[in-house]
Amino acid sequence: MSLRKDKLRKLIEMQGFTDELELVEAALSDAVCPTICMNPDCSYTEEMEPDQREGWCPECKTNSMMSGLVLAGII
Ligand SMILES: [Zn+2]
């Protein structure tokens, strides 16, 4: 759980949002959502489907990308 919190915080920072709510609102009003790689040493981000839980990270070559909405517990 704390990894998810860390990753969510990092994703918010990297996308230039001030808080979780801002990221969630932006993601809900768009067809894509900021996603972040869940591997501990990687912070690759990309926009993917809002319900993405195992997106492909080109840095790690693993299916480790998770969307901000999933991280925030919205979906
Ligand atoms: Zn990665």
31-71 pLDDT, tens digit each: 999 999 999 999 999 999 999 999 999 999 999 999 999 99
Closest alpha carbon to 71 in 38, 25, 48, 28: 38
Q: What pLDDT is stored for residue 49 in this prediction? A: 96
Residue 11 pLDDT exceeds 70: yes
Cα(56) to centroid of ligand 1, in Å? 8
pLDDT of 14 higher than 90 = yes
Query: How far does the centroid of ligand 1 lie from the alpha carbon of residue 46, in Å?
Result: 11
Q: Is the pLDDT of residue 1 over 80?
A: no
Interval between CA 8 and ligand 1 midpoint (Å): 14
Name the residue ranges covered by the structural domains of the chain.
Answer: 2-71
DSSP SS3 for 65: strand
